[in-house]
């Protein structure tokens, strides 16, 4: 029975899943090209200009990305990244708003349709007039998440690998700088930069966990709702409020204590990708930088999602099934 | 009643301070066709939804084959097929896919009976549901109800949007279900179709079951309407006394007779009549008694 439900639910989401997978694939491929442009063409330009002005090239990075505006942290989310390094810049792709918006809209939209959407459409009566235990329906949606979310993440990974194949080696190109005719020494031989998409794969487990957490939260709302659009509205509101709370905490140290209350605080795939750091220490925001305790970021997000599903299970197995709107 | 299939005991449902169903007591025997009558808001759908385990009773309980419809809803629903009043189907499926999907949830694999029934109901089960009219969709839904041979069929206003031919076909299918020993519980606004197939009817008003009617009692009675052109009779059929309002000053005769038909015909033959109409009593006067115009 569960398998029949899972197959049916997968069939329902198939068209939208294909579209979102293609979008993630395309974005990841495009991000590789952007990474190549920035690290192999733009960064060398800054390096040369810095040499001309007798400055350390890191000055540009410090001012633009990690200066008072904390642009990199607030906008790109990539604290402690070195943007002249291809893999560092590649990691920012997972933090890009396009990826977050696509993922969040998917997770919220699908979970909202799970219970509230079925009630809204009137098909829940048809389903539950069969000998289907309500908990099986929630279990089926959980299993669909277990299939669909990794599929989305693998699409992103496939896009990165495709992009790396299509773009080819990252070679620093001094042609544009040479055309400027600056009176400084410019290397004659193009320099190859190391880049690899493989470390992205484990880091994408953090994206999968984030989507699962959002799905679980929305599932809890959906199990108690009867209108899909109302649940989507509340789900999006919750996601946006948590996102803003995390950004505010990044911008102003005075309010950074609120960051751990946002699921986006535990979304740090760049640390997993670049330094294999799977935990975050809450002392950074709750104890003035002194170590407090480590929280496994993937585990925490999975726990949030699981809690959402458990709440959904409890609510849905006890509630009245209202007539369709 | 010995071994009833469906039992409702003091079945009550409140929505905050509003009581949608008030202490329903009912027992349906295997092979019985029972009609629930009442206007909108009388509690018909609430009663059916409680029986299907969609709603948790505020008080009382309903059981199907001894299984509590809320606490052991899965076991109860194994024995029920349901046609909702507000019909919504999975539009991305064909009729055949829908029947297979729902049968799969019951652990069944439908065979030739799908095509046989589809032929009788005049449905193309291989067309996507999104391409079907509302009447055709209702037929597909009927198919999903008739394919599993479960002990209880629950239908919420089943003839909505069906054309007269298909309405007759549905009623025929319900008679066949009864002949197979299946119990049928259905709600309706249409008194004629209830009269045509039901063994018993219950009339609901403001959430309360206010009248239970054995249809055999009605079928044994006739209403007589005639216009007299001669002297009025001094007694009714079989010498029974006539009521005060049986004959109007204009000579219009109206009475209800329960008894052997020859007695009535003998009595009528002795009267000078200009016009005559003799009909089974039907549910209309009973329904009117509780709900005004039918």
Contacts of B52 in chain A (CB under 8 A): 128-129
If you classify domain B6-217 with CATH, what class do you get?
alpha beta
* Unique residue bearing structure tokens 């030739």: B112
Residue B86, pLDDT score? 81
Any domain includes A321: no
pTM: 0.86
Any domain includes A307: yes
Any domain includes A272: yes
Residue A131, pLDDT score? 94
CB contact under 8 A, A129 and B92: no
Going by C-alpha positions, the residue among A77, A79, A113 that lies closest to residue A232 is A113
CA distance B49 to chain A (A): 9
Kindly state the percentage of chain B with pLDDT values over 90.
Answer: 45
- At residue A130 the predicted structure's pLDDT band, cuts being 50, 70 and 90, is very high
For residues B129 and B88, give the distance between their C-alpha atoms in angstroms, rounded to a whole number.
Answer: 10
Read off the pLDDT of residues B108-142 as tens digits, 9 standing for 90 and up.
888 888 999 899 888 899 999 999 988 888 889 98
Strands B208-214 and B6-15: unpaired
Contacts of A131 in chain B (CB under 8 A): 74-75, 77-78, 105-106
Residue B148, helix vs strand vs coil: coil
Kindly state the percentage of chain B with pLDDT values over 70.
Answer: 99
Any domain includes A310: yes
Residue A75, pLDDT score? 55
Question: In this model, does residue A24 exceed pLDDT 90?
Answer: yes
CB contact under 8 A, B89 and A126: yes
Contacts of B101 in chain A (CB under 8 A): 4, 8
Read off the pLDDT of residues A79-122 as tens digits, 9 standing for 90 and up.
566 777 889 889 989 999 999 999 999 999 999 999 999 999 88
**∠ CA A235-A239-A241, rounded to 5°:** 115
For residues A5 and A141, give the distance between their C-alpha atoms in angstroms, rounded to a whole number.
Answer: 9
**Higher per-residue confidence, B66 vs A81:** B66
ipTM above 0.85, yes or no: no
Question: In this model, does residue A68 exceed pLDDT 70?
Answer: no
Chain A: residue whose CA lies nearest to B14: A320
Any domain includes A324: no
A128's enclosing H/E stretch is helix A123-128
Q: Which residue out of A13, A131, A318 would a mutagenesis test of the B interface target, given it has the greatest number of B Cβ atoms within 10 Å?
A: A131
- At residue B50 the predicted structure's pLDDT band, cuts being 50, 70 and 90, is very high
Going by C-alpha positions, the residue among A114, A122, A125, A324 that lies closest to residue B88 is A122
Any domain includes A95: yes
Any domain includes A148: yes
Give yes or no for a contact between B272 and B228, defined as CB atoms under 8 angstroms apart.
yes
| Chain A residues in contact with chain B using a Cβ-Cβ cutoff of 8 Å | 1, 4-5, 8, 11-12, 121-123, 125-133, 318, 320-321, 323-324
Residue A60 lies in domain: 2-316
Give yes or no for a contact between B81 and B152, defined as CB atoms under 8 angstroms apart.
yes
The domain spans of chain B are 6-217, 220-291
For residues A254 and B160, give the distance between their C-alpha atoms in angstroms, rounded to a whole number.
Answer: 64
Q: Which residue out of A1, A119, A125, A127 would a mutagenesis test of the B interface target, given it has the greatest number of B Cβ atoms within 10 Å?
A: A125
Read off the pLDDT of residues B152-200 as tens digits, 9 standing for 90 and up.
999 988 887 778 888 888 888 899 999 999 999 999 888 888 888 899 9
- At residue A205 the predicted structure's pLDDT band, cuts being 50, 70 and 90, is very high
Any domain includes A322: no
Residue B40, helix vs strand vs coil: coil
Total structural domains in chain A? 1
Chain B: residue whose CA lies nearest to A324: B86
């Amino acid at each position: 029975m569960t398998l029949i439900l899972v197959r049916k639910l997968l069939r329902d989401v198939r068209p939208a899943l294909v579209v979102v997978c293609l979008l993630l694939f395309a974005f990841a491929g495009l991000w590789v090209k952007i990474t190549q442009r920035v690290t192999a063409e733009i960064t060398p330009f800054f390096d040369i200009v810095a040499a001309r002005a007798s400055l350390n090239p890191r000055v540009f990075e410090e001012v633009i990305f990690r200066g008072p505006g904390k642009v990199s942290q607030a906008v790109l989310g990539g604290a402690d990244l070195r943007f002249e390094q291809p893999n560092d810049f590649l990691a920012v792709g997972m933090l890009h708003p396009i990826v977050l918006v696509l993922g969040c809209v998917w997770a919220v939209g699908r979970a909202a349709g799970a219970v509230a959407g079925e009630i809204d459409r009137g098909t829940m009566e048809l389903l539950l007039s069969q000998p289907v235990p309500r908990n099986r329906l929630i279990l089926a949606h959980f299993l669909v998440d277990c299939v669909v979310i990794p599929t989305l993440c693998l699409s992103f990974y496939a896009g990165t690998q495709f992009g790396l194949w299509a773009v080819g080696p990252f070679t620093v190109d001094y042609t544009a700088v040479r055309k400027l005719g600056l009176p400084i020494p410019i290397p004659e031989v193009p320099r190859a930069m190391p880049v690899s998409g493989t470390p992205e794969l484990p880091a994408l487990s953090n994206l999968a966990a984030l989507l699962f957490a959002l799905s679980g939260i929305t599932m809890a709302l959906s199990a108690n709702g009867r209108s899909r659009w109302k649940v989507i509205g509340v789900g999006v509101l919750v996601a946006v409020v948590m996102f803003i709370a995390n950004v505010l905490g990044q911008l102003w140290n005075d309010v950074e204590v609120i960051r751990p209350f946002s699921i986006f605080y535990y979304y740090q795939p760049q640390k997993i990708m670049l330094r294999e750091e799977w935990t975050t220490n809450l002392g950074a925001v709750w104890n003035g930088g002194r170590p407090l305790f480590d929280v496994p970021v993937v585990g925490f997000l999975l726990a949030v999602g699981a809690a959402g599903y458990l709440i959904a299970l409890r609510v849905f197995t006890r509630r009245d099934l209202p007539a369709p709107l | 009643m010995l071994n009833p299939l469906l039992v409702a005991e003091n079945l009550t449902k409140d929505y905050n301070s509003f009581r949608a169903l008030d202490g329903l007591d009912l027992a349906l025997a295997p092979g019985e066709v029972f009609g629930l009558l009442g206007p909108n808001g009388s509690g018909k759908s609430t009663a059916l939804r409680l029986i299907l385990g969609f709603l948790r009773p505020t008080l009382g309980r309903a059981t199907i084959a001894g299984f509590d419809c809320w606490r052991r809803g899965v076991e109860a629903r194994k024995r029920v097929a349901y046609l909702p009043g507000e019909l919504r189907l999975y539009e991305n499926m064909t009729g055949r896919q829908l029947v297979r999907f729902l049968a799969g949830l019951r652990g069944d694999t439908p065979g030739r009976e799908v095509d046989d029934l589809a032929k009788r109901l005049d449905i193309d089960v291989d067309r996507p549901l999104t391409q079907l009219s509302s009447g055709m969709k209702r037929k597909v839904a009927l198919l999903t109800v008739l394919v599993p041979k479960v002990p209880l069929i629950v239908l919420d206003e089943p003839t909505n949007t069906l054309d007269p031919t298909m309405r007759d076909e549905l009623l025929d299918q319900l008679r066949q279900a009864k002949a197979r020993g299946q119990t049928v519980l259905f709600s309706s606004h249409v008194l004629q179709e209830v009269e045509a197939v039901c063994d018993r009817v219950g009339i609901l008003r403001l959430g309360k079951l206010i009248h239970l009617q054995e249809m055999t009692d009605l079928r044994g009675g006739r209403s007589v309407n005639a216009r007299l052109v001669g002297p009025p009779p001094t007694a009714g059929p079989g010498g029974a006394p006539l009521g005060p309002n049986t004959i109007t000053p204009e000579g219009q005769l109206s009475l209800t007779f329960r008894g052997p038909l020859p007695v009535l015909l003998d009595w009528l033959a002795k009267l000078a009549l200009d016009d005559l109409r003799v009909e089974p009593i039907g549910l209309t006067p009973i329904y009117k008694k509780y709900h005004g115009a039918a």
